[in-house]
Amino acid sequence: MTDETDVFHIMYTCRAMRRLKPDPVPEAVLVKLIDAAHQGPTGSNRQNARWIVVRDARQRSRIAELHRSGADAYLAGTPAAQGMEKIRAAVAWQRDHFDQMPALIVASIALAQRPADSFVAGLGAGGSGWPGVQNLLLAARALGLGATITTFALRDRAALKSVLGLPDLVEPFAVLPVGYPRGRFGPLTRRPLNEVLRWDRW
Amino acid sequence: MTDETDVFHIMYTCRAMRRLKPDPVPEAVLVKLIDAAHQGPTGSNRQNARWIVVRDARQRSRIAELHRSGADAYLAGTPAAQGMEKIRAAVAWQRDHFDQMPALIVASIALAQRPADSFVAGLGAGGSGWPGVQNLLLAARALGLGATITTFALRDRAALKSVLGLPDLVEPFAVLPVGYPRGRFGPLTRRPLNEVLRWDRW
């Protein structure tokens, strides 16, 4: 181990790396990422997060097509102002290279039964999946891989579920392209902490 | 830095520590936890996760009361079988000591507008909050603190929002007791990876 794998160093330099090389990622490394994700907490330790690693070129191209539609809608609907230029450029680059990402990791939650169709039910259910995604992002960063959370391919949820052959009760919530980065890792930019932290009450 | 802060070591030993000591946690350490949480990714980098650190005894006692009702309902509704005995015992211990936890961290999402009241909208919105929670859990583990995700106090969401004075569009999704652990950190127990990982399709 080197300083490079210190958990705080990893967290503070875990940039959203959208520009990736097409070079394949060894299977053993992909397995390491999923194993890290699998360590994330889940409600009542149900371990109900599911991870599909998509390397097959035809499958990647189908998902890339869904991603493109969603990204186009996002870019059309998001104003170019307010410091969004860099994100917009990276999102557009990613859209145009999505089928060349060496691996797409689809994160899903396996539900025991059809949940209440409410915002708070979904927000709560995410607690069994999103923490594992953060483990995956940190593990990727530690192994020198770039990764980002995307959700554009989910805008046509039925089509994505059909491409992946997902059962009705398995709900995808993120698609993470993973590969070797073209750019460099570096510090994150964040607002001052006092804008997001309060003591005792709002 | 020591090996102790290696990101993989931290992830693989980040147990849900429910039994905590009442000893206070220094404010600088609590700030470190929230700063780590604040590094988590958010959709379009909106940085819309919000963190309330509750140390005030009266506030903790109000939240503990809400937590107790939710925990009681959970314990009454969860069968004691299927290897759940250890979790049940720890949940009961935590319920009975909740107001003695030195700090309760309430994680919320600040919404720009009232979202669609659907499961998938909530599942997606959680992607701007739960990854930060995982950063917080890992940071706590790295600093020798125990922490767990709880959601029992959210069962009466309106009451919790009222106790905290949360605006309508700020939605809490987790309450994390944080303190020095009574037990020891150790390896997680997880199902074999092949139960949660698939290649190319379901």
- Could you read off the pLDDT of A170-190 as tens digits, one per residue? 999 999 999 999 988 889 999
- DSSP bridge pairs for A178: A103, A147
Give DSSP secondary structure letters for B70-123.
Answer: HHHHHHHHS-S-TT-HHHHHHHHHHHHTGGGSSEEEEEEEE-SSPPP-SHHHHH
Stretch B189-201: mean pLDDT: 97
pLDDT at B7 > cutoff 90: yes
Per-residue pLDDT at B51: 98
Give chain B's mean pLDDT.
Answer: 95
- Amino acid at site B113: Q
ipTM of the complex: 0.96
Chain B residues near residue A109 by CB distance under 8 angstroms: 123
Give the pLDDT confidence of A125-156 residue by residue, as tens digits. 999 999 999 999 999 999 999 999 999 999 99
Angle at B200 between CA B196 and CA B202, to 5 degrees: 50
Partners of residue A191 in chain B, C-beta under 8 Å:
47
Distance from C-alpha of A28 to C-alpha of B93, rounded to nearest angstrom? 40
Q: Which range, of A76-85, B103-112, B155-164, averages the lowest pLDDT?
A: A76-85
Question: Is B117's CB within 8 Å of A118's CB?
Answer: yes
Percent above pLDDT 70 for chain A: 98
Specify the DSSP element, H or E, that contains A61: helix A57-77
- pLDDT tier for residue A1 given thresholds of 50, 70 and 90: very low
Chain A within 8 Å of B59 (Cβ-Cβ)? Answer: yes
DSSP letters of B114-176?
Answer: PPP-SHHHHHHHGGGTHHHHHHHHHHHHHTT-EE--B-GGGTTHHHHHHHHT--TTEEEEEEE
Contact A200 B52 (CB under 8 A): yes
Average pLDDT value over all residues in chain A: 95
In angstroms, rounded to a whole number, what is the distance separating the alpha carbons of residues B90 and B52?
24
Residue A112's CB is within 10 A of a number of other CB atoms, namely 8
CB atoms within 10 A of CB A114: 9
Name the nearest CA neighbour of A174 among A144, A143, A135, A145. Answer: A135
Cβ atoms within 10 Å, residue B2: 8
Assess whether pLDDT exceeds 50 at residue B1: no
pLDDT tier, B77 (very low <50, low <70, confident <90, very high otherwise): confident
CB contact under 8 A, B44 and A78: yes
On whether any CB of chain B is under 8 Å from the CB of A201, the answer is yes
> Is a pLDDT exceeding 90 seen at residue B10?
yes
Three-state SS for A132? helix
DSSP reduced 3-state for B16: coil
Cβ–Cβ below 8 Å for A14 and B39: yes
Residues 136-175 of B with CB under 8 A from A: 137-139, 142, 148-149, 151, 154, 157, 163-167, 170-171, 173-174
Residue of A54, A78, A119 lying closest to B200 (CB–CB): A54
Q: Which residues of B touch A92 (CB under 8 A)?
A: none
How deeply is A10 buried, as exposed, middle or buried, from its count of CB atoms within 10 A (0-12, 13-18, 19+)?
A: buried
Contact A111, A171 (CB under 8 A): yes
* Closest by Cβ to A127, choosing from B5, B126, B138: B126
Return d(Cα B117, Cα B120) in angstroms, integer: 9
Do the beta carbons of residue A148 and residue A17 sit within 8 Å?
yes
Q: Please report the pLDDT score of residue B87 as a whole number.
A: 84
Give per-residue pLDDT as tens, A68-126.
Answer: 999 999 999 877 666 778 888 999 999 999 999 999 999 999 999 999 999 999 999 99
Given A11, A34, A148, which is nearest B39 (Cβ)? Answer: A11
The Cβ of residue A81 has, within 10 Å, a number of other Cβ atoms equal to: 7
Instruction: Give A157's contacts in chain B (Cβ within 8 Å).
Output: 120
- For residue B86, the model assigns a pLDDT of 84
Which residue segments constitute the domains of chain B, with CATH numbers given?
14-183 (3.40.109.10)
Q: A197, A176 in Cβ contact below 8 A?
A: no
Helix (H, G, I), strand (E, B) or coil at A103: strand
CB spacing of A124 vs B125 below 8 angstroms:
no
| Residues 6 or more apart in contact with residue B101 via CB below 8 angstroms | B20, B22, B60, B177, B178, B179
Chain B neighbors of A178, CB-CB under 8 A: none
Farthest-apart Cα atoms in chain B, separation: 52
Shortest CB distance from A6 goes to which of B5, B121, B163? B5
List Cα–Cα distances, A130 to A12, A107, A118, B193, in angstroms: 18, 9, 18, 18
Whether residue A59 has pLDDT greater than 50: yes
Between CA B38 and CA A103 the distance in angstroms is 28
Candidate from A35, A119, A163 with C-beta closest to B118: A119
Residues of B in contact with A124 (CB under 8 A): 122, 126, 151, 154, 173
B82 pLDDT higher than 50: yes
Over residues A17-46, mean pLDDT: 97
Minimal CA–CA distance to A151: which of B128, B27, B138, B46? B128
Q: Which residue of B has its CA nearest to A88?
A: B44
- Residue A50 structure tokens: 């599911």
